Amino acid sequence: MVPNPYDPRTRTDLSKREQLVLDVTGGVLHGNDFHLIDEHVAVGYRQHTVGIGQGRDGFRRYVEAIASKRPGRTTWRPIHLFEAGDFVILHKLIPAAIVADFFRFDDEDRLIEHWDVVQRLPEPDYDPMRLSQENFSRFYALFDMPPPS
């Protein structure tokens, strides 16, 4: 695995909200600290991930039914973490996918809204820090384009 000079776990300048995203992600989605839901997720939490219910209770039901039972759920690697205004963006690697989570905070520093982009790993042993080499085959497949003859 290529070292990550941007690893949020080694940064000393994390904002309060960036740290909360790391804590909730690691503790709830990849750990067993489900009490963090009541502590850091707003009651009116709005979820934009298809299939997950609304509110704190919808998030809790997803964690109990799916996230807590996922194979390899405790294995994850934060890649990048950014804060801009009310938003914190976490780019992470999990065993089956690469994920970008977009969280919005309310005025009380509680998670109030979430979107994500999930991509299956493009190759076995994918490392987002490793430099790529040109190979357009996955793009031809993604865009349903025939490769050139």
Which pLDDT band holds residue 25 (cuts at 50, 70, 90)? very high
Query: Do 3 and 129 touch, CB atoms closer than 8 A?
Result: yes
Structure confidence by residue, pLDDT tens digits, 90-115 = 999 999 999 999 999 999 999 999 99
List domains and CATH numbers for the chain: 13-142 (3.10.450.50)
CA distance 28 to 36: 7
pTM of the model: 0.92
Structure confidence by residue, pLDDT tens digits, 28-83 = 999 999 999 999 999 999 999 999 999 999 999 999 999 999 999 999 999 999 99
Go through 86-125 and write b for each residue having 16 or more CB atoms within 10 A of its CB, e for each that does not. Answer: eebbbbbbbeeebbebebbbeeeebbbbbebeeeeeeeee
Which stretches of 48-130 are assigned E, i.e. beta strand?
A: 77-84, 87-94, 97-105, 111-120
Q: Quote the Cα angle for 75-83-59, to 5°.
A: 50
**With 90 as the cut, is the pLDDT of residue 149 above it?**
no
